[in-house]
Structure 1
């Protein structure tokens, strides 16, 4: 039992708007999990254009888990976008070199850390993820959302700024899903239990747990 070729760029026959990102991204500071895809009718191979202000000298990473679905125009704003708002001017003098390098010491607007997207996350069209954000497993980010705060697992967030709309399931179900972490199973096992994973029968999910 198996799914699509994990090494393929375009895993769907005759469809060239959707690609497996792990086989496309080349920036070592962008980490992509297995089977995560990006859908873009213009050019899905140019995903890295959506990772903005991502400068090597800062060293922050974008980490995206397995089995994520990322829609067109989703943008990730990285730490290089931050300006120092505590100084008298926000202009980044130090970045231009020469005698202006004396401004490097006060250049940073605050390092927010890596941006980390969990597993089985769906990010809708034109959403924007701000620097250092952590999005939990199974979360959904609605179209046009600007995510400015960390997102809990299995929650739905929407708006500008993004706010919690609701959780996808009861806490018992969330606890089970967080514990089994199905995305870490081998692909044969995932394939076997697709009928359970793509349904919403909590009894079937509990039976799956008992059978393990």
Structure 2
């Protein structure tokens, strides 16, 4: 489902996605059930399934060359859309691919810098600036973002990652959605499943 005012280019979507008003997106892949709230910008990113992206988020905003006399792109990017260029070739890569795992919640107005990897199950607090990779199921916040805590104990994180529940069939969720509300019930389900195999 796509709301008015969004501009999307070179992007592949999964199933059951929702993109709200005034989203700007280019060169991304978006997994099943992921939604993106209004006024968010996403560039050059792979985003997993079941992600919740709040409004005003910026993912992969681009970087400038910092080791030259000037940081201005007219000196190092031939194809930058500016009025006059002073170079005949690109001598810097202004964007790196950003990777967001599955079931990641990114709070309002967070910024995820280019090339960062956010692990599955992570939570990014509102207003955070993420400059480094984030471990699976970590909760991070601040400028720059730092780990606050993990959502679960290590053995539970390993169990969830190994389960790859985000790849379960749609009919499984239709029948078992209640398990997603209680980690103890989900762990019991996985234990029973392993006993059957």
CA–CA distance in 1 between the matches of 2:125 and 2:87? Answer: 41
Instruction: State the match for 1:127 in structure 2.
Output: 110
CA distance 1:129–1:193, change in 2 (3 Å): same
168-177 or 191-200, larger mean C-alpha shift: 191-200
Instruction: State the match for 1:188 in structure 2.
Output: 171
Q: CA RMSD in A?
A: 2.8
Instruction: State the match for 2:36 in structure 1.
Output: 38
- Tell me if the contact between 1:182 and 1:190 (Cα under 8 Å) persists in the aligned partners: no
The residue correspondences of 1:193-208 to structure 2 (distance < 5 A) are: 193-201=176-184, 203-208=187-192
Greater fraction of residues in strand: 2
**Does 2:65 align with 1:84?**
yes
> Which structure 1 residue ranges, 5 or more long, are not aligned?
1-7, 11-18, 41-45, 55-60
Task: Give the secondary-structure state (helix, strand or coil) at the position aligned to 1:156.
Answer: strand
CA distance 1:206–1:97, change in 2 (3 Å): same
The residue correspondences of 1:66-145 to structure 2 (distance < 5 A) are: 66-78=49-61, 81-94=62-75, 95=80, 96=82, 100-102=86-88, 104-106=89-91, 108=92, 113-145=96-128
The residue correspondences of 1:159-174 to structure 2 (distance < 5 A) are: 159-174=142-157
CA–CA distance in 2 between the matches of 1:193 and 1:34? Answer: 17
> Cα distance, 1:82 vs. partner?
1.9
CA–CA distance in 1 between the matches of 2:36 and 2:174? Answer: 21
**Higher RCO structure, 1 or 2 (CA under 8 Å, sep 6+):** 1
Report the TM-score when normalising by structure 1: 0.72
**Does 2:18 align with 1:20?**
yes
> Cα distance, 1:87 vs. partner?
1.5
Greater fraction of residues in helix: 1
Report Cα offsets for 1:146-173 as digits up to 9, x if no partner. Answer: 1110011111011110000111101111
> Cα distance, 1:76 vs. partner?
1.4
Report the TM-score when normalising by structure 2: 0.77
> Which structure 2 residue ranges, 5 or more long, are not aligned?
4-16
